[in-house]
Amino acid sequence: MLAFSEKSIVKLNVNGENVTVMINPSYTLLHVLREELGLTGTKPGCENGDCGACTVLVDGWPIKSCLMLAAEAIGHQIVTVEGLKNAPIQKSFVENWGFQCGYCTSGFLMVCHALKNIHPDANDFVIEQWLQSNLCRCTGYGEIKNAVKAVLENRI
Amino acid sequence: MIAFDFAYFRPNTLKEATEIYKQIALTGKTPVYYGGGTEIISMARTGSVKFDAVIDIKSIPECTTLCVESDRLIIGSAVTLTKIAESGCFPLLGETVSRIADHTIQGKITIGGNIAGTIIYREAALPLMITNSKVKIIRKNRLHDVPFFDVFDGDLHLQKGELIVQFLIDKNYLNLPYCHVKKTKLDKIDYPLLSMAAIKTNNGISAAVSGLGDKPFLLPGKILNETDIPETIRVDKTIAAIQNNIISDLIIASKEYRVFVLKNVLTQMFHNFKGA
Ligand SMILES: Cc1cc2nc3c(=O)[nH]c(=O)nc-3n(C[C@H](O)[C@H](O)[C@H](O)COP(=O)(O)OP(=O)(O)OC[C@H]3O[C@@H](n4cnc5c(N)ncnc54)[C@H](O)[C@@H]3O)c2cc1C
Ligand code: FES
Ligand code: FES
């Protein structure tokens, strides 16, 4: 049984690397990524599960890191926006005007990247279902949808 | 940030989970079983709950199984809503849970957590309420299969330390004609004005709703199935019969408006089941 009751050193797998980090059981994954590992691409927004700015991938699926304890991530593979490393979806966001201020962008990129991997043949219904997890206050969402479609249709 | 400290345990067996719960409770401290953690983290962050330890049940095989065994579908309590929807194992349940919160959070919320949680909607319970489902729980160190309604009347009633392990659904219910409708005020992603799940068996229609009352409840089957009277009258009689279950105005919408929505949803349901 995995057990710890105070600040402890644990191993996390982040962006393909095993990292050693000191965490408290009450720390969220969002906090540890930003404050302990310096991966500030993952953004804090509502910290309540509503906005999606904090989305990362856990074993390939999008997860809101504000609603996950870092301790839960032990034994799983985490990918943050820093781990995308010029994935096609990033280029597509640039080419399709998928962002303005950019605050929501890392969260959207993670959702879209996972969608491409999990449902490469996603139709409009599925695309919308996945994108509805994230909020953007600048774009009209249409540009983001265009960016995903370009990647799904291998136009990038 | 969560402003208080607690311990984290991730047992690999049911025995470890219940033992550690007992040990912590014996020292006068408060343990909580931890499914997806979405409600626990949200409420801990705002200071609405306090506890000394979380017992994460996601590494216990019995709680994460999703399979059909002999004549029933077994859904572990720590199975996520996404896994249920993607599996296609029970289309009515899949459709219902894929309207809870949003798609990303569905990958974290567990079916057990939705049903045991404090939020009044508990939409995942609706399909279980109309399919004679059972639940496997740990009670006094032993596993028991009990009818879902023995522990759930819209609220979950478990004693301290008792754990939902699995939900058990008779295979015969999985592919019956069904209807699921969720109406929200504005956005598609929101708490429900009304969420309804209904099925049609050889014995007639069964339906359960969430959003009207302070907990989910069954619609009166006797009235829904009075086939000798017109559907419009059955709709009116149903609404008259449940007046005491409907809570008065919520911030989300007035009582009158929610009843108006129910009337339309019931009419649509009768229409959908025609010829089914
Ligand atoms: C942004 C957001 C939107 C939401 N929208 C909706 C909605 O539209 N409709 C709706 O119905 N709900 C909605 N919810 C509520 C959500 O489904 C509940 O918060 C649910 O509790 C979360 O499940 P979980 O697995 O994360 O539970 P947890 O946070 O792990 O646990 C919740 C409670 O259940 C207990 N528990 C968990 N598993 C078990 C078990 N196996 N046995 C006994 N007790 C257990 C825990 O001890 C705790 O008290 C929403 C939540 C969020 C965060
Ligand atoms: S910060 Fe996590 S969903 Fe908004
Ligand atoms: S680009 Fe500014 S919030 Fe989305």
Longest CA pairwise span in chain B (Å): 62
Domain coordinates of chain B in residue numbers? 7-56, 61-171, 178-273
pLDDT of residue B249: 72
3-state secondary structure of B189: coil
pTM of the model: 0.96
Could you tell me which of B220, B217, B213, B208 has the C-alpha nearest to residue B193?
A: B213
pLDDT at B177 over 80: yes
pLDDT at A52: 98
Question: What's the pLDDT tens digit per position in B157-167?
Answer: 999 999 999 99
- How far apart, in whole angstroms, are the C-alpha atoms of residue B219 and residue B234? 11
Q: Which of A1, A26, A62 sits opposite B5 (nearest CB)?
A: A26
Q: pLDDT digits over B195-248, tens only?
A: 999 999 999 999 999 999 999 999 999 999 999 999 999 999 999 999 989 888
- Contacts of residues B201-210 at CB distance under 8 Å and 24 or more positions apart, as own/partner, are B201/B173, B201/B176, B205/B269, B205/B273, B206/B130, B206/B131, B207/B130, B207/B269, B208/B125, B208/B126, B208/B127, B208/B129, B208/B130, B209/B126, B209/B262, B210/B120, B210/B121, B210/B122, B210/B123, B210/B125, B210/B126
Give the amino acid at B124.
A
Does B178-273 carry CATH code 3.30.390.50? yes
**Cβ-Cβ contacts under 8 Å, B8 against chain A:** 2-5, 25, 69, 71
Residue B73: left if φ>0, alpha if ψ -120 to 50, beta else—which one? Answer: beta
CA B51 to chain centre: 24
Q: Is the pLDDT of residue B174 over 90?
A: yes
What pLDDT score was predicted for residue B190?
A: 87
DSSP letter string, B128-184: HHTTT-EEEEEETTEEEEEEHHHHBSSSB---TT-EEEEEEEEGGGTTS-EEEEEE-
Is the CB of residue B74 less than 8 Å from the CB of residue B166? yes
B188 has a pLDDT exceeding 90: no
* Contact (CB<8Å) B98/A61: no
At the topology level, CATH places domain B7-56 in 3.30.43
pLDDT at B247: 86
Contacts of B98 in chain A (CB under 8 A): 129
Summarize the confidence of residues B135-162 as an average pLDDT.
Answer: 96
Q: Mind telling me how many Å the CA of B95 is from chain A's nearest CA?
A: 12
Instruction: Verify whether ligand 1 is closer than 6 Å to residue B68 (CB atom).
Output: no
d(CA B158, CA B65): 22
- In this prediction, the residues of chain A whose per-residue pLDDT falls under 70 are none
Whether B276 has a pLDDT exceeding 80, the answer reads no
The Cα A151–Cα B75 span in angstroms is 35
Q: What's the pLDDT at B27?
A: 96
Partner A contacted by B98 (CB < 8 A): yes
Which residue among B32, B34, B38, B115 is best mutated to probe the pocket of ligand 1, counting the most ligand atoms within 8 A of its Cβ? B38
Domains B7-56 and B178-273 share a fold: no
Report chain B's mean pLDDT, rounded to a whole number.
95
> Above pLDDT 70, what percent of chain B?
99
Whole-number Cα distances in Å, B220 to B154, B177, B204, B207: 15, 19, 12, 8
Average pLDDT along chain A: 97
Cβ of A2 within 8 Å of Cβ of B9? The answer is: yes
**What whole-number distance in Å separates Cα of residue B130 and Cα of residue B127?**
6
pLDDT of residue B189: 85
Mean pLDDT of B118-146: 96
Structural contact between residues B7 and B20, judged by C-beta atoms closer than 8 angstroms: no
Q: What is the pLDDT of residue B1?
A: 87
Burial of residue B44, with CB atoms counted within 10 A of its CB: 0-12 exposed, 13-18 middle, 19 or more buried: buried
Residue B116 has a pLDDT of 98
| Predicted confidence (pLDDT) per residue in B47-103, tens digit | 999 999 999 999 999 999 999 998 999 999 999 999 999 999 999 999 999 999 999
What's the CATH fold of domain B61-171? 3.30.465
